[in-house]
Structure 1
C-alpha cells in the first residue's frame, strides 16, 4: 500500500492582511480625495478674496484720487508744494525774500573735549526760548538788545562731576531732548574744541537764553548767554522768520514749511527768489489716470480668476477648481448688474463715456485720452460718475465689502466647505477606528489559520510515518 504525504504552505499573514486592508480602506481613500477637492476650493476662494480686496482698494483709490490736485512750481529749486483736498485750482505768484532759520551759538574753545571743566559742583543750566529785539549785533554779540520769552516754558539739565566735560555737556543736552542740539567743533586752533548749540526750531521767536545756577562758576562762564546781558557764547547764525509774498500779499512764517499762505496748499521753501516764481494748482490727471489704470487692472485680475476657476472641463483641458460652484455665478451676476446699472445725478451715466469700456473677452480697457477730455471739460460729472452714492467706484467698493464681510458670499461658502472637510475628517476618524479593529481581527484569524495549518501538517506527517511503519511489517 502506497502512502502519499503533502505539506500545506503557511500563509504570509502581514501581506494578506495588508491586501485585505487596502480594499477595506477604499471608503477612506474616497473621503480623502473629497477633502483634497474641498481644500482646493477653499484655497481658490482665499485667492478670490484677496483679489476682491485688491479691487475694493482700487475702486476706493479711484474715488479719492479724483479729488487730488497737483501743485507745480515754475522753479522747483526755490520751493516745492503739495495740494490737499481743500485746495482750489488756480495760478499763484510767489516771491521768497528770506528763509526761516534757527539760531546757532558757539562757546569759547577748550584744549580738550574730555578734560573736566570746573570743580564738578552741581550746576543747573536752564534754557529759555524767545525773541531778541532792538540793539545792534556786532561779530555775533548783541548790545542794547532785549529778550522776550515766547512763553513755551524752560528746560534744564544738571552738570556735575559725572559730566563736566565738553562731551559730557553735549551728551546731557542732547539726551534731554529739550529742543537744542549740541555738537563739538574742532576749529584747528590751540584751543580747538568748541561746543556748538543750535535751536531745534526755526523762527525769530526761538532764540535761546541760557542761565546757570549753582556753585560752579566755570560752567556759567562757558554756557551763560543772555542777549540782553552777558553773552559767553557767540551767535553764528541769527534766528529769523521766512518772508515771502503770495500774489503780492506779504507773509511771515517761523518755518520754511508754510501751510496757510494758500488754501489747501503746503509750500516748502528751499531758496530765495531772484524773480517772481509761479505756482499752478490743477487737477492731478497723472494720478487720476494711474488710479483708473489700477482699477481696470484689479477688475481684470478678479474677472480672469473667476472665469478660469469656474470653467468646465473641455476636450484636452481640465476644469477650474470651482467649476459649477453657484457662488461664482452669483458674484458674476452681481458685478454685471452693477456695471449695467447707470449712475444718476449727472450727465455722465456709464463708464464707457470716460474711456473705461468692456472688450469682447469681458475684460476692461482704459482710453486715457477720453478720460482726460472728460476731466478737463466736465469734471463735476466725472466725480459724480465715480464717487456719488450711485457712482461706480462707490457701488463696486460696497459690493466688494459685502462680498468679503462675515456672512458674505465668500465667507458663507468657505464656512460651508470647511464644514464638509470637518464632516469627512470625522467620518475618517470613525472608519480609522474600525480599520484598527478589523486589522486586528484579520491578523488574529489568519494567524490562527496558520496555527491550524501547522497542526494539520504535523498530523499529516505523523500519520504518514505511522502508516509507513505498518505497511513495512
Structure 2
C-alpha cells in the first residue's frame, strides 16, 4: 500500500520542523524583485535625462532665436522718422535715410478731379433719342485762368444806396458791407478781407464807358449866358465860357488833343487810374478805370448850350450825368465750388447757389495716360447705363450715381482714378455716320475746362504742395518717397510739422537684451543640470554628459572669437 506524505501547515513552528516558510517566501520575493527595482531606477534616470535634454533643447532653441535679429545687418542700420504732428503727416525711414531735422510745411493735398452732372428724375429713364454717340475721355493738366464765378454789373440802386450788411455770404462767411459799399472795388475789398476764412478772392473788373458814348459828339456852342464843362471821374477835362459859336471852342478834335496830353489833364487822369482809348472824332472814345471804382462822366451846362455827348452841334444840351459801375469775379483758391448766399446777393451782382467754372483756362493732354471712349446708344442711354459703360471700359475714370433727395435727385459723378494735377478730365462727344452727337447726352456730359463745361466740378485735380526746409516740392500723390532720401512721407493734412530722422537703436537694444537673457538662461539651465553638490554627494542629471559639454564648449569658443568683416 502506497503512503502519500502531506504537509499539514505552512506555519509549522520551531517545535515541529523548525522551518520559517513565510520568511523564506519573503526573501525569495525580495530577491526576485531586485532586478525590477534596478530597472525602475534606470527608467527614472533616463526619464529625468530625457526631460533635462528637452529643457536644454528649449533653452538652446530660445538662444538660437535671439540670434536671428542680431544676424540681420539692417537692424544695425535702422533709422527712425518721427514727426512732431501726426495729424499732418506720418513717416517711415529706410536704411538709406540720413539723420537730420526737417521743417515741413504742407499747403495743399493731392486729390482727384470730380465732376457731377445735372440732376435727373430717374436713373433708369432714357436720355436723348438713343442715337449712337461716342463719349471720349482725355486726362491732362490745366493752365492759366481761374476757377470761380463771374458777377454782373452792379445795379443803379446799389450805386445809390450801397449794399446793406448781411446781403452777401460766401462759403458760410458773412461779408461785411454797408452804405459805403457802392462800387465793385469796395465790394472786392470787403470780400478779400475775409479770404482767409472763405478761401475765395474777389477781383473788381475794370469800369469801362460805352464804346459808342461819344459817337456823334457835336461841337459845343454856348449862348451869351451859356457855359459848358465836361468832367470824367471828377476831373474837369474841358470848359467853355459864354458866347462861343460851334467850331470856335470845344470840338471832338480839340477834346482828343486835350486827352492825348501830356498835360495836367492827362496826368490827373492817370493819377485817378483812368485810361483813355479811341477818339471822340472817330466816335469810339472810351474811358476805363482799371481798379473797378465807379466812373462818373458829367456834362455841366448853364444857360443856352448846344452840342456835346449825344447831341449834334445844333441840338440843345441840358447837361448829363452818368455813373458807370463794373462787376466782380470770384476765384476759388483751390478750384472748389463757391457757395453764394445772403439776404440779397443780387445787390452784389451775384446769384445765390453753389457753382463755379474755369475761365480763360487751357487744357493739355498728358500723353503718358491712357485715353478711351465708350459708346452710348439705345441700349444704355440712362444714368445707370452710362455709369456701367464707363466703369467697364477701364478709362482711368470711375462713375457712380448719387442722390441728393430733391425732385431730380440722381447725379452722375465722374472721378479720375489718379490724384494729381495731370489727371484733369476732358470729355467730348461725337456722333456716328456723319451725324452729330445726341444733344441731350452732349448737354449732360460735355466738359472742357477751356470751353463748354456742362458738368460741375466738385473737386479739382491737384498735386500735393509742400516745402522741406524751405524748398518747394510738388507731388501727384500724398505718399512721397522722393523728397527726403530714404524717407517716405504720408501727408494727410495741411499744416506744419517738424520731422526728426535719427539712428534707431531700439531694435538693436531689444535684440541684444533678448540675446543676453537667452544666453544667461541657457547657462543657468546647463549649470543646474551639470552641478555637483558636495554635501549631498549628488550630481545634476546631466553631469558629465558629452552633449552638454560640447554645447558649452562651442558657446565659449564662439563668444570668445573675434567678429570678421
CA contact (8 A) 1:91 1:281 kept: yes
Residue deviations 1:319-377 (CA, integer Å, cap 9, x gap): 98x9987555444432221112244xxxxxxxxxxxxxxxxxxxxxxxxxxxxxxxxxx
Residue deviations 1:244-267 (CA, integer Å, cap 9, x gap): 221111112222222222222222
CA distance in 2, matches of 1:214, 1:318: 99
CA distance in 1, matches of 2:522, 2:381: 67
CA distance in 2, matches of 1:189, 1:244: 40
2:460 to 225, 230, 238: 238
CA contact (8 A) 2:146 2:358 kept: yes
Aligned to 1:4: none
1:183 positional shift? 2.3
1:291 positional shift? 3.1
Which blocks of at least 5 consecutive residues in structure 1 are unaligned? 1-32, 344-388, 391-473
My pick for the range that moved more, 90-99 or 39-48, is: 39-48
Aligned to 1:142: 358
TM score, norm. by length of structure 2: 0.47
In the alignment, is residue 277 of structure 1 matched against residue 497 of structure 2?
Answer: yes
Structure with greater strand share of residues? 2
**Whose RCO is larger (CA < 8 A, sep 6+)?**
2
TM score, norm. by length of structure 1: 0.55
Which residues in structure 2 correspond to 1:215-254 (within 5 Å)? 217=438, 218-254=440-476
My pick for the range that moved more, 86-95 or 136-145, is: 136-145
Which residues in structure 2 correspond to 1:22-421 (within 5 Å)? 51=62, 54-61=65-72, 63-118=73-128, 123-138=133-148, 139-152=355-368, 153-160=370-377, 163-214=380-431, 217=438, 218-273=440-495, 276-296=496-516, 299=519, 329-343=549-563, 389-390=564-565
CA distance in 2, matches of 1:156, 1:325: 80
1:148 positional shift? 0.7
What is the aligned residue count?
313
CA distance in 1, matches of 2:64, 2:392: 45
User: CA RMSD of the aligned region, Å?
Assistant: 4.2
CA contact (8 A) 1:124 1:156 kept: yes
Residue deviations 1:430-463 (CA, integer Å, cap 9, x gap): xxxxxxxxxxxxxxxxxxxxxxxxxxxxxxxxxx
Change (3 A) 1:102 1:294: farther
CA distance in 2, matches of 1:206, 1:307: 70
CA contact (8 A) 2:59 2:518 kept: no
Q: Could you say which structure has the larger radius of gyration? A: 2
Residue deviations 1:92-137 (CA, integer Å, cap 9, x gap): 1221222222111111111122334345565443322110112332
3-state DSSP class of the match of 2:411?
strand
CA contact (8 A) 2:116 2:456 kept: yes
CA distance in 2, matches of 1:307, 1:76: 50
3-state DSSP class of the match of 1:114?
coil
CA contact (8 A) 1:187 1:193 kept: yes
3-state DSSP class of the match of 2:71?
helix
3-state DSSP class of the match of 1:202?
coil
Residue deviations 1:35-62 (CA, integer Å, cap 9, x gap): x99x99999999689657634432234x
CA distance in 2, matches of 1:126, 1:204: 20
